[in-house]
Amino acid sequence: MTTSSTSAASPTTRVPTTSREQPRGSAFNRAHLRSTPGFYRRAWYQFRQNKIALAGLILSALMVAFVLAAGIIANITGHTYWEGDLADQFIAPFSPGYLLGSDGNGRDVLVRAAYGGRISLTVAGLASLLLLVIGTTVGAISGYFGGFVDSVLMRIVDVLLCIPGLPLLILVFSVFTPGPYMLAVFIALLGWAGGARLIRGEVLSLRKRDYVEAARVLGASDSRIIFRHIIPNVIPLLLVSLSLALPGLILVEATLSFLGFGVQIPIPSWGNMLENAREYFTRSWANVLIPGLFIYMTVLSISLVGNGLRDALDPRLSR
């Protein structure tokens, strides 16, 4: 269950449900319209009305542009992310040559933040995609077929949901020391359970809809029903979950790297830049402030986009 809501969530789009169950199907259900192109056009229109979400989208785009431009920034400043000049230790931000200052090894914080952000966003993005693929597959199988398969899969979900995420990841990464890509894979492998449960609930309610029954009566195969009739109707929910999972995963990567269990030096990430800055804490507060601000701005802007998407795509989810 998501807890967030912005002031922009207009109360008129909310469908009050007193029961916690998913509403059962009717021929004129809204979900029926979801997969039509007009649905997305209308959602985009609604999203654009939401100024806060739009600001979030612009800020996220700027952040992505910044990390993609890491190479260009490195060229302009003439600094790399791994080489430092020990004569240039702890330079304050906004100094000539070092826009965001330098760290304890005399490395340019701006260049490191750009490369570090690239790693952080790649890990979080890859993890969230994988997580949704696994979650959707498991959720769809579980919700569609039900019975024994469903109960086995849901017990696995129960187990994964009851272990607090961070301790489990610390355990895994004390055993393995993976590179950035495998890090994302591991995070996804342990984090898909919540998404699977969400999708399962949705599929469970879609499965009983009249149009699915109709498709079955017409002789459609299971895979055709799942891929042609159910998945398209789950996509809005997936988009919302993706945009709401991403900020959380950026935080997970940052936390792990900060503790020394995530992205390993010399590869920079916003998390291990903070770990590095912590060692000479009192010498330079800017080194602690800057990577954290990057994490904060990114997480904030993406969650604003997520909230806007949720309000635009699935009014029932907004609270």
Residues that bind other proteins in the complex, under the rule CB under 8 A: 1, 3-7, 9, 11, 14, 16, 52, 155-156, 158-168, 170-176, 247, 251, 254-255, 258-261, 274, 278, 281-282, 285, 288-289, 292, 295-296, 299-300, 303-304, 319
Q: Kindly state the smallest distance separating residue 185's Cβ from other proteins, in Å.
A: 14
Q: Kindly state the smallest distance separating residue 207's Cβ from other proteins, in Å.
A: 24
Q: Which two tokens stand for residue 117?
A: 């952000």
Considering the complex, state which of residue 233 and residue 318 has its C-beta at the smaller distance from other proteins. Answer: 318
- Asked if the peptide bond before residue 178 counts as cis, ω within 30 degrees of 0, the response is no
* CB 64, CB 56: distance < 8 Å: no
- Listed in order, strand segments (DSSP E) in 217-313 are none
Q: Kindly state the smallest distance separating residue 6's Cβ from other proteins, in Å.
A: 6
Q: Kindly state the smallest distance separating residue 268's Cβ from other proteins, in Å.
A: 16
Considering the complex, state which of residue 52 and residue 267 has its C-beta at the smaller distance from other proteins. Answer: 52
- Cross-strand pairs, 102: 108
Q: Which two tokens stand for residue 105?
A: 């090894």
Burial tier of 6 (Cβ tally within 10 Å: 0-12, 13-18, 19+): middle
Considering the complex, state which of residue 41 and residue 278 has its C-beta at the smaller distance from other proteins. Answer: 278
Q: Kindly state the smallest distance separating residue 158's Cβ from other proteins, in Å.
A: 5
Rg of the chain on CA atoms, in Å: 23
Considering the complex, state which of residue 68 and residue 168 has its C-beta at the smaller distance from other proteins. Answer: 168
Considering the complex, state which of residue 16 and residue 147 has its C-beta at the smaller distance from other proteins. Answer: 16
Interaxial angle between packed helices 37-49 and 285-313, expressed in degrees from 0 to 180 and rounded to the nearest 10:
130
